[in-house]
């Protein structure tokens, strides 16, 4: 059996090469990547999905109370409970989401590092150990980067888009350059300098591909909710039946769609790694120098 050709990450790539090599790498290593997702990212992914599930259920239950006949009699109590559920739920989901994306990015970047160091083999145990010991660093990085992007979006939207491009590389910088939070963010802007538009186009196209794929898995939940909504509109007698639109079958279908969506996100993360190496090679010629050094040793 012919040995599979190793993917060389340390080289410059144009837009087409980043996209094609992303799909090629995942196609050739999907089994190992799935193991990484299942064993390393899976637990926090499950917590996040269950938190979404529980939050939607509690909010829907709270909205049912608002439309109930007892609402006017217990206005203050029902309103305060609903507001508290809403606020605490949002805060918990926010923290869990940041943790999830931090670990997700860390796991995929460490998997690619393992692939490079082990010449085409991803050591899942090694990846899990690295994530276990450095997850707090990635959580801090994800938190700071997220705050910067959100703040940029709130200013005038465009600054948030601008910041998103360099900050999408910070996790790869932390892994492959072994830099801290501040140094990773600073270095990301140096890499993007004079290459922002090309980088933006790559990330924009990958995001479109991701959302198109994710939408396919969300269709069953959307179709189900539309059918339930049409039924509700035809018989609007009981306002409490509004929560029945988003019942258990809908929540389960939505949960499955969300799970598939998060797994598909690996395509976007891998593309950011290819983009990082391409920009780093263009700036530092690390791969070229390494190739020359290896040739000198062989001679």
The predicted structure's pLDDT at residue 236 = 54
The predicted structure's pLDDT at residue 68 = 47
**Could you read off the pLDDT of 163-205 as tens digits, one per residue?**
999 999 999 999 999 999 999 999 999 999 889 999 999 999 9
Contacts of 63 (CB under 8 A, 6+ apart): 82, 242, 243
The answer to whether residues 110 and 131 touch, using CB atoms and an 8 Å cutoff, is yes
What's the token pair of residue 273?
């790694």
* Domain parsing of the chain, residue ranges: 21-298
**Could you read off the pLDDT of 109-159 as tens digits, one per residue?**
999 999 999 999 999 999 999 999 999 999 999 999 999 999 998 988 889
User: What is the distance between the alpha carbons of residues 103 and 236, in angstroms, rounded to a whole number?
Assistant: 45
The predicted structure's pLDDT at residue 244 = 61
List C-alpha distances in Å: 37 to 100, 101, 211.
Answer: 11, 12, 19
Q: What is the mean pLDDT of residues 25-35?
A: 95
User: What is the distance between the alpha carbons of residues 174 and 184, in angstroms, rounded to a whole number?
Assistant: 6
Angle at 33 between CA 29 and CA 37, to 5 degrees: 170
Q: What is the mean pLDDT of residues 252-280?
A: 91
The predicted structure's pLDDT at residue 239 = 46
Q: Does residue 92 register a pLDDT over 50?
A: yes
Task: Give the percent of the chain with pLDDT over 70.
Answer: 79
Chain mean pLDDT for the chain: 84
């Amino acid at each position: 059996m012919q040995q599979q050709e190793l993917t060389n990450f340390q080289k410059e790539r144009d837009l087409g090469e980043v996209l094609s090599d992303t799909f090629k790498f995942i196609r050739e290593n999907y089994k190992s990547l799935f193991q990484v997702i299942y064993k390393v990212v899976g637990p926090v992914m499950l917590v996040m999905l269950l938190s979404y599930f529980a939050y939607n259920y509690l909010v829907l239950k709270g909205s049912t109370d608002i439309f109930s006949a007892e609402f006017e009699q217990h206005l203050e109590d029902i309103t305060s409970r609903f507001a508290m559920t809403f606020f605490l739920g949002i805060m918990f989901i926010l923290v869990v989401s940041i943790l999830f994306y931090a670990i997700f990015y860390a796991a995929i970047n460490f998997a690619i590092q393992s692939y490079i160091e082990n010449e085409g083999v991803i050591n899942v145990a090694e990846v899990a150990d690295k994530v276990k010991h450095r997850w707090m660093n990635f959580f801090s990085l994800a938190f700071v980067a997220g705050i910067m992007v959100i703040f940029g979006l709130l200013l005038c939207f465009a600054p948030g888009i601008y910041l998103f491009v360099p900050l999408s590389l910070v996790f790869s910088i932390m892994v492959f350059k072994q830099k801290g939070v501040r140094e990773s963010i600073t270095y990301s802007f140096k890499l993007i300098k004079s290459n922002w538009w090309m980088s933006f186009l790559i990330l924009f196209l990958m995001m479109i591909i991701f959302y198109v794929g994710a939408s396919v898995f969300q269709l069953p939940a959307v179709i189900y909710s539309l059918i339930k909504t049409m039924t509700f509109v035809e018989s609007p007698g009981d306002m409490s039946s509004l929560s029945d639109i988003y019942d258990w079958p809908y929540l389960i279908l939505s949960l499955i769609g969300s799970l598939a969506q998060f797994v598909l996100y690996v395509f976007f993360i891998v593309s950011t790694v290819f983009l990082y190496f391409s920009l780093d090679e263009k700036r530092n010629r690390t791969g070229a120098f390494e190739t020359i050094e290896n040739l000198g040793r062989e001679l």
